[in-house]
Amino acid sequence: MKNFKDVLSKYMSACLLLVLLGTSLNAQKFDKDLQKLQLAYKLISTFYVDSIDDGKLVENAISGMLTKLDPHSVYISKEEVAKMNEPLDGSFEGIGIQFNIFKDTLMVVSPISGGPSEKVGIQAGDRILVIDGENVAGVGLKNTDVFSKLKGKKGTKVELQIQRKNIKKLISFTVTRDKIPIYSVEASYMATPEIGYVKINQFSATTHSEVESALKKLKEQGMQNLILDLRGNPGGYLKAAIDVADELLPEKKLIVYTEGLTNPRREYNSTSKGLFEKGNVVVLINEGSASASEIVSGAIQDWDRGLILGRRSYGKGLVQRPLNLQDGSMIRLTIAKYYTPSGRCIQKPYDDGIDAYQEEIYHRFDTGEVLHKDSIHLNKNEKYYTKIKQRPVYGGGGIMPDFFVPADTSGYSDYYRDLVAYGILNRFVLNYVDTHRKQMERSFTSFEQFESKFVVGDEIIEKLIREGKNEQLKSDVQAFRKASFPLVKAQIKALIARSMWTSSEYFQTINPSSEVYNKAIDILSSEKEYTNLFH
């Protein structure tokens, strides 16, 4: 027995010695690598032909290291950190307006509800000509100029002089800056007497509370089934995605788990607090739905809680952690992968480099994937099964919808593309609303009246065509007339609705022209069709 203890003691001592030796060797290698990097920096700084910005050189070195890891590990400068955080924080500090620069003049599209501009009486259509005594009209104003002049610390004041239609004199306003919410729920309304609709544009710090409010309101209005629209949603906070999924799943269901080399498996489960744990659900996705959107979609799909409609999602399954540096800059470092409840990682490959990775989404259009389901090549080695009905699902390249709906390109033409790309369509609608606002306010006292009675006539489209010609558009007008009239009429009406009301009314107006939206309505209106799609 004593002999065995001696042998065991010697064995453990040898193991410990090897561990310490390995640690020491690793540390020595790291020191040598660091010395090599420092020497390279010193040689460049000493002998390079031109003067060098040392700070920029270091930033480029950090960026270069991260670029070799994966597409989502990045260096963010001190100046960019605040800009990056603002949309996800759910608020910023300013005067609270949505604006557009129209004919070299700052025009208020709408004051943000409850914000400081609305409180002092600034209206949609007002033109801001002077800010703190400085003329800003006709001077080549850019969006960045507007942000720098109107954003500021809460409690500070800004003096504005505004031109209002049919009033000759300028109107002066003193606006006290305040916290302005950035809403991530762009729209929520009853699509039918029983079907509610919620559109989320990103997952921010306030998304969960916004979704809670939307679900409560829709349930009060009689919602039995739900369309959750995550098309074009690039993601955001992991916690926000988990909280939104929790509203739809029964308790004690795995929503997602994360795992990495130095990060042990961590599971996130649903609670009993969900506001919509029963009732049918359809989630809309496309190639612009990424990250947090895929967490929600994956959890809904894997638990057979609802159906996913649309096109294959982006395929981002990496978890980043923000690591702050001393000067206020930041590294966003990938520390783990996330996995859906079935165990699949939906991260698409990035072995061919960052450029190929970023262009992959456009490659889907070239291969015909967005138009034909048969063009999608599933990774048979990444086959998994849903938790309840054991339906096959696949990892390694985004969330594949349960029901594929191709991109609708029937209304597109080169002339329509150019009208949108060059901002002509938006400017045309702004001018139209500016000219006819008072008349429309008298004719339509509610959005419901506008939706049912307002018609975009051919004469409006002909005016738009003339506007395009004035802007020297060279594309085929006849092809536009033949193919794009229904599409552009729907878009004009929706843009007018947004200018007169909010983005919610925009989606309420434009969605009926969307094939995937209409398919969601059809499926949720038929219990038989909804059930059959799970088999």
- Give the DSSP letter string of 294-335: HHHHHHHHHTTSSEEEES------EEEEEEE-TTS-EEEEEE
Phi then psi dihedrals of residue 45, to 5 deg: -65, -35
For 262, the 3-state DSSP assignment is coil
62-101 burial by CB neighbour count: b if 16+ within 10 A, else e? eeeebeeebbbbbbbbeeebeeeeebbebbbbbbbbbbbb
Report the greatest alpha carbon distance in the chain.
Answer: 105
- Beta bridge pairs of residue 354: none
Q: How many CB atoms lie within 10 A of CB 337?
A: 16
Q: Which two tokens stand for residue 436?
A: 């006819």
Can you tell me the distance from the alpha carbon of 505 to that of 50, in angstroms, rounded to the nearest whole number?
Answer: 57
Helix (H) or strand (E) holding 240: helix 238-246
195-234 burial by CB neighbour count: b if 16+ within 10 A, else e? bbbbbbbbbbbbbbebbbebbeebeeeebbbbbbbbbbbb
- Comparing CA positions, the residue from 238, 227, 234 lying closest to residue 310 is 227
Q: How many CB atoms lie within 10 A of CB 408?
A: 13
Q: Is the dihedral of CA 516, 521, 522, 527 positive or negative?
A: positive
Can you tell me the distance from the alpha carbon of 148 to that of 154, in angstroms, rounded to the nearest whole number?
Answer: 14
Instruction: Enumerate residues 6+ apart whose C-beta is below 8 A from 456.
Output: 489, 490, 492, 493
Helices (H), 90-135: 116-120
CA 422 to chain centre: 22
User: Would you name the residues annotated as active-site residues?
Assistant: 291, 316, 320
Helices (H), 277-423: 292-302, 354-367, 414-421
Pair type for strands 266-269 and 254-259: antiparallel
